[in-house]
């Protein structure tokens, strides 16, 4: 049994390395469900039972996939899903919503797709700028009172919103991108989380796969891979950003670990209140990621990793 960590002060505990399920259904192509289910099976065997999905992945079909994997073993999984990004059945993006009615409707739909009567951690995926956060979180709190949700969280918001939301109903987690090439949260957000007693879940801790060293050129990605549309993967930015990857590779080789493992271990070393949800569609990658939890970084390792020129990364996150 792998160790667990407290995620915030509300009683939620999770393994430090969970599994982001998004890529099983969207953005990076869509592998066969049979292969995805084998990855989810293996994750449970290895104690990786913190699974992250959202209604917009697919759209909708990622929750259905996770629901299949949950059959007969719901109690073994700490399940996180999200609402807030509206998508049509054809995959079109239709904006954001955080109205109380929308919160409730999304929760009911997610429960049905997931085949469960409760969600362990329910996030607002992106804040609706037209709806006060107090209204949205108030509706989420009602779902907790009804037993349909156990804990709540937000994604990609700053300290002010965290403060306001936390006064309405205690938050257990904030989910935001964090890795060796995305360290923006360190100045203001992480200190605010720790002051408020809210946990942190790092998505894309491997830089969307870039920090593994497996992507050497844009041609290594499928033509329909969403990453090709992102600023850091644009042709000029890609070549410039490879410098960071080469430095991670050198440090990893000195420690006799994989670059992705070193990058993941660095995120975990930033605090015992930080969980990660690297995504994968391959069992070998899953096992490699989980092994990163056993890596001990020395003060010298951390000094070298912290000195990497993350501020020189070319291109925004989106």
Q: Are 289 and 205 in contact (CB under 8 A)?
A: no
Helices (H), the chain: 33-45, 61-70, 100-114, 133-145, 159-168, 189-196, 235-255, 259-268, 283-291, 299-306
Q: Which residues are catalytic?
A: 57
- Contact between 23 and 15 under an 8 Å Cβ cutoff? The reply is no
Beta strand 5-6 pairing with 13-14: antiparallel
**Which residues are CB-neighbours of 159 under 8 A, at least 6 positions away?**
188, 189, 192
Burial 247-276 (b: 16+ CB within 10 A, else e): bbbebbeebebbbbbbbbbbbbbbeebbbb
d(CA 83, CA 22): 14
Q: Please tell me what DSSP assigns to residue 26.
A: S
> What sign does the dihedral 102-108-109-114 (CA atoms) show?
positive
């Amino acid at each position: 049994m792998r160790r667990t960590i407290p995620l915030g002060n509300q009683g939620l505990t999770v393994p430090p390395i969970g599994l982001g399920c998004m890529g099983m259904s969207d953005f990076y192509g869509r592998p066969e469900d049979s292969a995805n289910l084998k990855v989810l099976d293996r994750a449970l065997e290895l104690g990786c039972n913190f699974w992250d999905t959202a209604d917009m992945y697919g759209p909708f079909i990622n929750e259905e996939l996770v629901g299949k994997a949950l059959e007969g073993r719901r109690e073994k999984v700490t399940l996180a899903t999200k609402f807030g990004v509206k998508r049509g059945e054809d995959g079109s993006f239709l904006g954001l919503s955080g109205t109380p009615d929308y919160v409730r409707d999304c929760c009911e739909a997610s429960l049905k797709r997931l085949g469960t009567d409760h969600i362990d951690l329910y996030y607002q995926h992106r804040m609706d700028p037209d709806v006060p956060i107090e209204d949205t979180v108030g509706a989420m709190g009602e779902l907790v009172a009804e037993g349909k949700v156990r804990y709540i969280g937000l994604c990609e918001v700053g300290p002010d919103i965290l403060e306001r939301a936390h006064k309405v109903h205690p938050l257990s987690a904030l989910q935001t991108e964090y890795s060796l090439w995305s360290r923006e949260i360190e100045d203001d957000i992480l200190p605010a989380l720790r002051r408020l007693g809210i946990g942190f879940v790092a998505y894309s801790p491997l830089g969307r796969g870039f920090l593994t060293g497996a992507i050497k050129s844009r041609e290594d990605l499928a033509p329909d891979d969403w990453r090709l549309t992102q600023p850091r993967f644009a042709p000029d930015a890609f070549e410039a950003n490879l410098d960071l990857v080469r430095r991670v590779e050198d440090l990893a080789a000195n420690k006799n670990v994989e670059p992705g493992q070193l990058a993941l271990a660095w995120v975990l070393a930033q605090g015992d209140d930080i969980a990660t949800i690297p995504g994968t569609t391959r069992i070998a990658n899953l096992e490699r990621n989980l092994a990163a939890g056993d890596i001990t970084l020395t003060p010298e390792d951390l000094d070298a990793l912290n000195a990497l020129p993350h501020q020189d990364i070319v291109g925004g996150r989106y």
